[in-house]
Amino acid sequence: ETNTLPFHPFENQQGDILRVEKERQVLKEQLREAEEKFEQLQSRSLEEISALEELLKKSVEETEVSQNELDWFHQDSETQMKKWQQEKKENRDNLKALRGTAKKHSDTNERYLKTIDDKEKQYKTCLNTFVETSNKFANEKGKLEELIKKSQDDRQECEKRAVKAEVLVLQTWKETEIWKLKGTIAKAEGNLRMLKALSSSASPAPVLKSQIDSWEIFISNVKKQLEKVEAEYEEKIELVKNGARNCLSKVEIVDFPCP
């Protein structure tokens, strides 16, 4: 009963501890999958951020080039205003185109910056989720390990009590059988003494001599049986103390018929 009934308070029904261990394995597998997904997402985010930074760098360089060209056009227009009077319209068109390009690069730059900010926020959100999940699984793992350790300690204690109980049962059986056999020996020795007394007080008849021999053989057999029972029970007790199982059975007793 100790090893088969639910172990309260850790089991409401048989197998709860195994179920908790299986749930712990499932949680560990989910944690591993979450870590793999996080690493994949982190790798993709880093690649996207690197690409966006490269595009941003290129846009800044193009913006600087456009700005330098714009400055050059301004200076050249001021110094050669009269010479380029006829080309003023063309220069204005070029200036407008350059400003449009600068605006376009500026918008692209802002868009890339916004994308980078969104990716960083997404990365931080994933990181926080991973940390929370990791902490949750760590707490669950700690609780499960404590329960498992306590269950193991309780199981060892139950095993000790079970061994003690089995030893006590075997000792009780041994003492009972020894008491019975010693009682039989005592009665037989009393009968033998009475027969020997009769044989000494009169001329022993052949039947009386035969009866004395029978009782002596009977007493010898019972004593051997007593030694055998005591030795086998002691062997069983030692086996139980050393951790053997299925030793809780009575020693077979040979019932010798009385003469």
CA distance 247 to 242: 11
Ranges of beta strands (E only) in the chain are: none
Q: Tokens in use for 159?
A: 């095993």
**Single-letter residue type at 238:** E
Q: Tokens in use for 246?
A: 């299925």
* Residue 170: predicted pLDDT: 87
CA distance 42 to 34: 12
Residues in the chain where the model's pLDDT stays below 50: 1
Residue showing tokens 């989910």:
30
**Single-letter residue type at 203:** S
* Residue 35: predicted pLDDT: 93
Whole-angstrom CA distances from 111 to 61, 63, 223 are 16, 15, 105
* Residue 7: predicted pLDDT: 65
* Residue 83: predicted pLDDT: 76
Residue showing tokens 């407008």:
96
CA distance 163 to 92: 104
**Single-letter residue type at 83:** K
Which of 214, 215, 222 is CA-nearest to residue 256? 222
